[in-house]
Amino acid sequence: MPQGQVTTVPQDGMTTRQRRNRPLLVVHTGAMKGKSTAAFGMALRGWNQGWSIGVFQFVKSAKWKVGEEEAFRALGKVHDETGQGGAVEWHKMGSGWSWSRRAGTESDHAADAVEGWAEIRRRIENQAHEVYVLDEFTYPLKWGWIDVAEVVSVLTAREGRQHVIITGRDAPPELIEAADLVMETTKIKHPMDAGQKGQRGIEW
């Protein structure tokens, strides 16, 4: 519930309405699971606003599939067929992005990641979506495949109403600095500690 109290009023020359609707850069980071789950939960709210959702998963395998993918694909279909909610695009790096004519190699992840970011940059510059989920995007940043300064520059200069949600461990400090909202999910108690293994419907 929106019950938070504003603690300071910034001297940024914006009206409350402008400030209220300022698009956010959100980072879900930290060592625990739940980062992507929380990001997709946020995207659900955007879908309900009729916003166009673009998900870009920087994962190594195209076979990797989380339950959220099917759910969002179903919601995208609801939009296409009935007009309810927003449009949904879901892209995975895996063995080559779906928009790319280049056959994926499953070997040159660095090149795939660079290509993914180039496309996201184009879309942001064209204001293609209202919600971007860049899932596991911190890894190509961490490994130096994609230039952090360029990412921060593109994200901070983005126009219109484009919310960007980035997930992954070890978000670089420059990204944290640029973000409006940084969340970390902390484990207090986890079944893995008690010998529980990952299970369908819960972990993926």
Provide the minimum distance between the beta carbon of 37 and a copy of itself in the complex, in angstroms, as a whole number: 4
Q: Which is nearer to a copy of itself, 48 or 105 (CB)?
A: 48
Binders of a copy of itself in range 135-194 (CB under 8 A): 163, 176, 179-194
Query: What is the Cα–Cα distance from 59 to 113, expressed in whole angstroms?
Result: 9
- Interface segment toward a copy of itself; rule CB under 8 A; list 69-77, 89-97, 107-115, 147-155: 69-77
Tokens standing for residue 187: 């484990």
Cα angle at 128 between 55 and 117, to 5 degrees? 55
Q: Which is nearer to a copy of itself, 19 or 122 (CB)?
A: 19
Query: What is the Cα–Cα distance from 164 to 24, expressed in whole angstroms?
Result: 6
Query: What is the Cα–Cα distance from 116 to 91, expressed in whole angstroms?
Result: 9
Q: Which of 54, 56, 75, 140 binds a copy of itself (CB under 8 A)?
A: 75
Provide the minimum distance between the beta carbon of 84 and a copy of itself in the complex, in angstroms, as a whole number: 6
Residue 101 touches a copy of itself, criterion: CB under 8 A: no
Binders of a copy of itself in range 6-35 (CB under 8 A): 6-10, 12, 16, 19-22, 24, 29-30, 32-34
CB 72 within 8 A of CB 40: yes
Which whole-number Å values give the CA distances from 192 to 13, 38, 189, in the listed order?
A: 49, 20, 9
